[in-house]
Amino acid sequence: MTWPAYLNEYEKLVIRMDTPRVVIDNAVCPTATLVKVDSARKHGILLEAVQVLTDLNLSIKKAYISSDCRWFMDVFHVTDQFGSKLTDESVISYLEQSLDTEESDFERPIGAEGYTTLELAGADRPGLLSEVFAVLADLGCGVVDAKVWTHNGRIACLISIHDVLSGASIDYDSPRILHIESRLLHVLKGDHGVCGARAAVSSAAICHPDRRLHQIMFADRDYDRTSSPLTTTLSSSFPAVSIQNWIERGYTVVTVQCLDRPKLLFDVVCTLTDMEYVVFHGTIDTDGNIAHQEFYMRHKDGSPISSGAERQRMIQCLQAAIERRSIKGQRLELYMEDRPGLLSEVTRTLRENGLLVTRAEVSTKGDMTLAMFYVTDASGQPADPGVIDAVRQRIGPDCLIVEEKRPQFRRHEVAQGSGGVGVGLFYLGNLFWRNLYNLGLIKSFS
pLDDT in tens, 363-390: 998 899 999 999 999 888 999 999 999 9
Domains of the chain (ranges, CATH numbers): 116-205+328-403 (3.30.70.260)
Average pLDDT of 226-237?
A: 40
Rounded-to-integer distance, Cα 442 and Cα 421, Å: 31
What is the b/e burial string over 127-163, where b = at least 16 CB atoms within 10 angstroms of the residue's CB? bbbbbbbbbbbebbbbbbbbbbbbbbebbbbbbbbbb
Rounded-to-integer distance, Cα 293 and Cα 255, Å: 6
Q: What's the one-letter identity of residue 291?
A: A
233 close to 240: Cβ distance less than 8 angstroms: yes
Average confidence score pLDDT of the chain:
83
pLDDT of 426 reads 37
pLDDT of 5 reads 56
Chain-centroid distance, C-alpha 244: 25
pLDDT above 90 coverage of the chain, percent: 63
Q: What's the one-letter identity of residue 287?
A: D
Q: Is 250 left (phi over 0), alpha (psi -120 to 50) or beta?
A: left
Rounded-to-integer distance, Cα 299 and Cα 365, Å: 43
27 close to 36: Cβ distance less than 8 angstroms: no
* pLDDT, tens digit, 9 for 90 and up, residues 156-176: 999 999 999 888 888 888 899
For residue 48, the tally of other CB atoms under 10 A from its CB is: 21
Q: How many Cα atoms occupy the beta-carbon half-sphere of 140 within 13 Å? A: 11
Rounded-to-integer distance, Cα 205 and Cα 194, Å: 28
State the sign of the Cα–Cα–Cα–Cα dihedral 264, 270, 271, 277.
positive
Q: CA torsion angle for 185, 188, 191, 194 (degrees, to 10)?
A: -100
349 has pLDDT over 70: yes
State the sign of the Cα–Cα–Cα–Cα dihedral 4, 9, 10, 13.
positive
Rounded-to-integer distance, Cα 218 and Cα 274, Å: 9
Listed residue (75, 142, 83) closest to 115, CA to CA: 142
pLDDT of 13 reads 53
Average pLDDT of 345-357?
A: 96
* pLDDT, tens digit, 9 for 90 and up, residues 29-44: 999 999 999 877 778 8
pLDDT of 333 reads 96
257 close to 237: Cβ distance less than 8 angstroms: no
Rounded-to-integer distance, Cα 43 and Cα 342, Å: 43
Q: CA torsion angle for 190, 192, 198, 200 (degrees, to 10)?
A: 50
